[in-house]
């Protein structure tokens, strides 16, 4: 499923057979997103999972017996997991289950040493991990586990082959998050937006998700960007990639993350304004009530941002050109639930700047209450609130009178 990240043939382009096979399997399981396993997946993973936790999003492993199932035990050893362990749905659960599927699917074809290298590559795709308290990177820890597993499971790998396996793992890891180093921030955000429906089920209903649903999704995404350290996006091991290459990739990731964070905060403010207007005029509603329907080949629809003025980025105050450009011109493509450009968010960003948006978002709550809604709207220039409300009234017929009355009261 290409919506889950870069297409597998993109991240495996020019790679060797081990990396290519690993790429094919590395995200075959999305347990918490898909609501569990398909019948075929459940058949392949028989005996791996003992029970579910947290509403079916987290799994607990069964007994890992090296004598009864040495390949399963080998994968567990390479991932550093043990019997009855509860897996982290956002920190290795999907990768571990995908690796077990790969090893069981290929177990009758490949030698244990090759299977171990595939499992190691898939382990490497667990993203955004820091060094541990002893200064060891994820690649360092994988190397240690490979050395240990090589002895335990008699895989007969040389030290050179083990190092090569870690290099392959690092290579696939960096390929998998390669969009962070894209020279085109619009493309980087494109890939990010494709992932939103994974962790936000309502967004899969592209015409029916509510203002609250979208605000919730953007709050989570903003938190992700604010907490993400660009220094842990890309990895190296024993000078592969070399320091200059790693530094260049990390530098670009830093830029894209900073622009992405500003972009998300501007969009979050706009959606929070709509959430406030919804709260003050009758409550939560489908986003399309205020925004208009998504355009299609056979259907023209009026959209909220259609008549908003555009200006050059330098006509605003305290704004970053890169953020404004992506807001105004858009990401590389439309997503399944949203068009690519954000003219109203661009309008707010140009008018208020980063500092103004930061101050306004201090009044954001999820969901928006009557009190927080009024405080938020009062923190935004009156002209902007009136402009958005009057244009929304042209689309939201059932809320039009309430929106116009709200503008009068705010003034």
Neighbours of 272 (CB within 10 A): 27
Extract the tokens encoding 95. 């990768």
251 to each of 65, 126, 177, 222, how far by Cα in Å? 44, 21, 14, 20
Looking at residue 1, what is its pLDDT? Answer: 37
pTM of this structure: 0.92
Q: Could you tell me which residues are beta bridge partners of residue 49?
A: 61
9-58 pLDDT, tens digit per residue, is 679 899 999 999 999 999 999 998 888 999 999 999 999 999 998 877 89
Three-state secondary structure string covering 8-64: HHHHCCCCCHHHHHHHHHCCCCCHHHHCCCCHHHHHHCCCCEEEEEHHHCEEEECCC
The residue ranking higher by pLDDT, 407 or 298, is 407
Mean of pLDDT values over 196-214: 87
Q: Could you tell me which residues are beta bridge partners of residue 334?
A: none
List, as one string, the DSSP characters of 314-375: GGSSS--HHHHHHHHH--SS--SSS-S--HHHHHHHHHHHHHHHHHHHTT--SSPPHHHHHH
What sign has the CA pseudo-torsion 377, 382, 384, 386? positive
List, as one string, the DSSP characters of 270-289: HHHHHHHHHHHTTS--BHHH
Domain locations along the chain: 8-179, 182-410
DSSP label of 295: P
Mean of pLDDT values over 196-215: 88
158-204 pLDDT, tens digit per residue, is 999 999 999 999 999 999 999 999 999 999 999 899 888 888 889 88
């Amino acid at each position: 499923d290409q919506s889950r990240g870069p297409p597998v043939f993109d991240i495996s382009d020019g790679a060797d057979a081990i990396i290519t096979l690993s790429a094919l399997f590395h995200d075959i399981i999305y347990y918490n997103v898909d609501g569990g396993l398909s019948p075929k997946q459940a058949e392949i993973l028989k005996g791996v999972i003992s029970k579910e936790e947290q509403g079916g999003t987290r799994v607990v492993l069964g007994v890992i017996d090296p004598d009864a199932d040495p390949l399963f035990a080998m994968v567990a050893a390479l991932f550093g997991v043990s019997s009855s362990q509860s897996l982290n749905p956002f920190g290795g659960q999907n990768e571990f289950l995908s690796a077990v599927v790969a090893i069981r699917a290929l177990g009758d074809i490949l030698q244990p040493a090759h299977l171990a290298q595939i499992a190691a590559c898939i382990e490497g795709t667990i993203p955004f991990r820091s060094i541990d308290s002893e200064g060891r990177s994820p690649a360092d820890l994988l190397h240690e586990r490979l050395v240990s597993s090589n002895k335990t499971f008699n895989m007969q790998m040389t030290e050179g082959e083990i190092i090569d396996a870690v290099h392959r793992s690092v290579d696939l890891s960096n390929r998998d998050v390669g969009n962070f180093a894209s020279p085109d921030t619009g493309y980087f955000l494109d890939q990010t937006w494709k992932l939103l429906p994974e962790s936000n089920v309502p967004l899969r209903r592209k015409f029916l998700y509510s203002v609250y649903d979208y605000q919730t999704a953007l709050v989570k995404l903003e938190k992700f960007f604010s907490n993400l350290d660009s220094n842990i996006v890309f990895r190296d091991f024993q000078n592969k990639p070399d320091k200059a290459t790693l530094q260049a990739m990390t530098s670009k990731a830093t830029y894209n993350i900073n622009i992405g964070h500003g972009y998300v905060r501007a969009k979050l403010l706009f959606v929070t304004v709509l959430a406030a207007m919804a709260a003050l005029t009758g409550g939560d509603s489908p986003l399309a009530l205020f925004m208009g329907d998504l355009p299609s080949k056979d259907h023209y629809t009026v959209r909220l941002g259609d008549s908003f003025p555009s200006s050059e980025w330098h006509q605003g105050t305290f704004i970053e050109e890169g953020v404004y450009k992506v807001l105004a011109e858009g990401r590389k493509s439309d997503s399944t639930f949203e068009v690519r450009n954000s003219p109203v968010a661009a309008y707010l960003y140009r008018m208020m700047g980063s500092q103004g948006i930061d101050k306004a978002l201090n009044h954001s709550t999820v969901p928006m209450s009557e009190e927080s809604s009024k405080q938020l709207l009062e923190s935004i220039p009156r002209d902007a609130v009136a402009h958005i409300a009057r244009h929304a009234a042209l689309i939201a017929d059932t809320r039009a009178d309430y929106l116009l009355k709200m503008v009068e009261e705010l003034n």
